[in-house]
Amino acid sequence: MSKHLKFFIDGAWVDPVEPALLDVIDPSTEEPFTTISIGSRADVDRAVAAAKAAFATFSVTDRAERLALLERILTVYNERFEDIAQAVSREMGAPLAFARDSQAWVGRAHLEATILAFKNFEFSEQRGTTRIVKEPIGVCALITPWNWPLNQIVCKVAPAIAAGCTVVLKPSEIAPISGLIFAEVMEAAGTPKGVFNLVNGRGPEVGQVMAGHPDVDMVSFTGSTRAGIIVAKTAADTVKRVAQELGGKSANIILPDADFETAVRKGVEGCFGNSGQSCDAPTRMLVPAARHDEALHIARETAELHKVGDPGAEDTVLGPVVSDVQYNKIQRLIELGIEEGALLVTGGPGRPDGLNRGYYVRPTIFGHVTPDMTIAREEIFGPVLSILSYETEEEAITIANDTVYGLAAYVQSQDIDHARRVAAQLRAGSVYLNYPDWDTSAPFGGYKQSGNGREYADWGIHDFLEIKGIVGWGS
């Protein structure tokens, strides 16, 4: 609790310039479980100044020094692994097994992937008489979300460190405790002062100030498309680079030659994972029209196996969603689905039976959804799956691409060449064939209003580098 009220700036835990407090809510009880300080422009100024001063020396460190730092961070991260998992479970309601096996695990996995990519990363090359040099972009403002806190913190901090940048991190104020533990990891790993800084706070008072700060050279933001637009507009006045990973409404095309029962079951599980709070979740399932009712039957049976309840209970599959704001948004969209004529297969409005408090949502399946319905177009960010029909493969591809988003898409087929041909026609930054394992070396990012830039491994390092051409080098 002592460090929950402090920020990490210039290698030290400090009090905010202007004291202000915010309760952190346990979504399983709707009650505060701790309090954090929230920052102001003065705190951002102090953190950015520390990062700017540190950049002068950190940017010219050699690869071996930065690699050693990343390896120490990984070592300390592993030592604090259980603390991180417990924090994520408490702050966002993730079942403890999921908090360990997915949420905390992915931070470790991205550190490992970045370290591996960094060892082989080329920072310069010769093209004729010109030397091409990749240099750290500068001071980076990192704004991360609540739904995959360690995934996004590590996907930004680790490549920035590898590139030689210095950073100011603002974790989500909704789920900030895992971010504070990560700051303790950075401190214990011996990160040079000013290289990593953390300021907690709300978007308008801290995030936007970071985005518009004249001494910040780049903003890396993950969150909603609405907030991403604000960040981009704010950053535009100083013409800084903006990398964004935003919303999604990903289609899951189940082709006629798929293993149908497995494809539908895994599609439901993929949509519901993390209580539906993943930007790349397969939330639109597209099935052949002749097998629509069969898909509804499989989906209903699968959904009803998802036990919702206390994150600490061993048999819990889904915990609550993160906040009252999210809960109310999901309820509104479920009600809209019913009003607009979709078939409610299972679930629906309200909490699951036996739960009278906590932001718990009933796992919900809608069938006979049409592409114009709100639930087929808006990102719901909860355990709600829309099932749509198609008559032809061409129609399925058209429906899949008929969205302002383009983060991910999914294709299921027992003929891998068939799946590949369909994947080539989908406008999305990631296309997943037959539910593959998570690949932390694959590029991650979106087309259209799902953002710009790419994260993971060497793709993330590229985002934090400037390109310099030294012409005449070889003359």
Tell me the CATH number at 239. 3.40.605.10
Is there a single domain that holds both residue 189 and residue 258? Answer: no
Is there a single domain that holds both residue 271 and residue 319? Answer: yes
Is there a single domain that holds both residue 257 and residue 319? Answer: yes
Is there a single domain that holds both residue 196 and residue 91? Answer: yes
Q: Residue 2's pLDDT is what? A: 67
Q: Which residues pair with 149 in a beta bridge?
A: none
The answer to whether residue 173 sits within a structural domain is yes
The answer to whether residue 242 sits within a structural domain is yes
Q: Residue 475's pLDDT is what? A: 73
The answer to whether residue 432 sits within a structural domain is yes
The answer to whether residue 475 sits within a structural domain is no
Q: Residue 1's pLDDT is what? A: 53
Give the total number of structural domains in the chain: 2
The answer to whether residue 172 sits within a structural domain is yes
Q: Residue 169 is part of which domain span?
A: 2-246+450-470
The answer to whether residue 70 sits within a structural domain is yes
Catalytic residues: 245, 279
Is there a single domain that holds both residue 158 and residue 274? Answer: no
Q: Which residues of the chain have pLDDT under 70?
A: 1-2
- 62: alpha, beta or left? (left if phi > 0; alpha if psi -120 to 50): beta
Is there a single domain that holds both residue 402 and residue 305? Answer: yes
Is there a single domain that holds both residue 229 and residue 367? Answer: no
Is there a single domain that holds both residue 207 and residue 67? Answer: yes
Is there a single domain that holds both residue 348 and residue 464? Answer: no
Is there a single domain that holds both residue 228 and residue 294? Answer: no
pLDDT (tens digit per residue) in 161-218: 999 999 999 999 999 999 999 999 999 999 999 999 999 999 999 999 999 999 999 9
Q: Residue 369's pLDDT is what? A: 98
Is there a single domain that holds both residue 134 and residue 256? Answer: no
CATH code of residue 413: 3.40.309.10
Q: Residue 88's pLDDT is what? A: 98
The answer to whether residue 445 sits within a structural domain is no
The answer to whether residue 346 sits within a structural domain is yes
Is there a single domain that holds both residue 241 and residue 255? Answer: no
